[in-house]
Amino acid sequence: MSRVRIAVLDDTQDVALGSADWSALEDRAEITVFREPFADEDAAARALAPFAVLVPMRERTPFPASLIARLPALRLVALTGARAPSLDVAACTAHGVLVCNTAMDSAAATAELAFALILACARAIPGADAAMRAGGWHGGVPLGTVLAGKRLGVLGLGKLGSRVAGYGRAFGMEVVAWSQNLTAEAASAGGARLVSKEELFAASDVVSIHLVLSERTRGLVGGPELAAMRDGAILVNTSRGPIVDEAALLAELARGRLRAGLDVFDREPLPAGHPLRSMGNVVLTPHLGYATASVFAQVYRESVENIDAFLAGRPIRVVNPDALGRHAR
């Protein structure tokens, strides 16, 4: 009996196989790890056509209906996380492809990175580190900003935003918040004071974004919001790049008015020649919010369980049960 071919995708840090015990699949499966992103949909279709099982890392590789239709051997998408907005689940169902998911308890990991970016911007830590490594000392390193007594504006006060609000209070910051459906009572319960969107941007020393990308939030932070921010204010985004109008942000950063800590971008990986890479008032991380040992251990362990159950004919954590028993290919 031939072994099932499994593709583990987007393992850019080379940690997937070491994050869980894959030995339960060894006798029934052949595992191939893809570490680099695909150049485009054609490249993905060519590389993945022979595989029956895909293990994508969240939405790093998009799977629209057009790509699903070009994967004739595909039978299971084992998601690392509860959902992947770039996966067309309806197309999977139509083609008889089962989708299973995992839990992903990444709120603490992402919130901690967000506050790390706040601190890195406030104290110019990357520039100071670079100066030291180049043999320098204080030269060229700007004076830092004390967070105590400053105002932290949290855009989106859910699980992540509430954690960041708590960190801000611990640092002696006043915390305000806004989102489309946030009430004064919910803001208070999350450790913040509800303000208007206009006040949040105009009167905050730090703005941290914690919203889900949707049609309502795409471009929500645009030119007017950025122009309203105080000189020297810090914008941190660990949610999704398109929530912020990139062109407007680049314009404000080029003027030197703002500082930014960015973990997410319109295009990922961020192109090598992108202007953000050369700006001294920006701290950049490569979408590391959830990329921690504990999170990866959880999602890959549960992915192995999902594949094992699927191969045994008893699938678990099924996202699209209507695909069960369908053979549309």
Burial of residue 146 (CB within 10 Å: 0-12, 13-18, 19+) is: exposed
From CA 189, how far away is CA 312, in angstroms rounded? 46
Domains and CATH numbers, the chain: 4-105+292-323 (3.40.50.720), 107-284 (3.40.50.720)
Determine contact, residues 74/99, Cβ cutoff 8 Å.
no
Residue 269: asked if its preceding bond is cis (omega within 30°), the reply is yes
R_g (Cα) of the chain, nearest Å: 22
The backbone torsions φ and ψ at residue 316, rounded to the nearest 5 degrees and listed phi first, read: -125, 165
Q: What is the pLDDT of residue 327?
A: 60
Residues with Cβ within 8 Å of residue 43, at least 6 apart in sequence: none
202: helix, coil or strand? Answer: helix
pLDDT in tens, 227-258: 999 999 999 999 999 999 999 999 999 999 99
Q: What is the pLDDT of residue 260?
A: 98
Short-list 189, 147, 166, 63, CA closest to 107: 166
- Helix 107-122 with 125-133: angle, nearest 10 deg: 70
Q: What is the pLDDT of residue 84?
A: 87
**Residuewise pLDDT in 10s, the chain (329 residues):** 579 999 999 999 999 999 999 999 999 999 999 999 999 999 999 999 999 999 999 989 999 999 999 999 999 999 999 988 899 999 999 999 999 999 999 999 999 999 999 999 999 999 999 999 999 999 999 999 999 999 999 999 999 999 999 999 999 999 999 999 999 999 999 999 999 999 999 999 999 999 999 999 999 999 999 999 999 999 999 999 999 999 999 999 999 999 999 999 999 999 999 999 999 999 999 999 999 999 999 999 999 999 999 999 999 999 999 999 776 55
240 C-beta neighbours (distance < 10 Å), count: 22
Short-list 321, 329, 328, 308, CA closest to 49: 329
CA trace torsion 126, 160, 85, 71 (10° rounding): 60
Q: What is the pLDDT of residue 2?
A: 78
Known catalytic residues?
240, 268, 287
Q: What is the pLDDT of residue 144?
A: 96
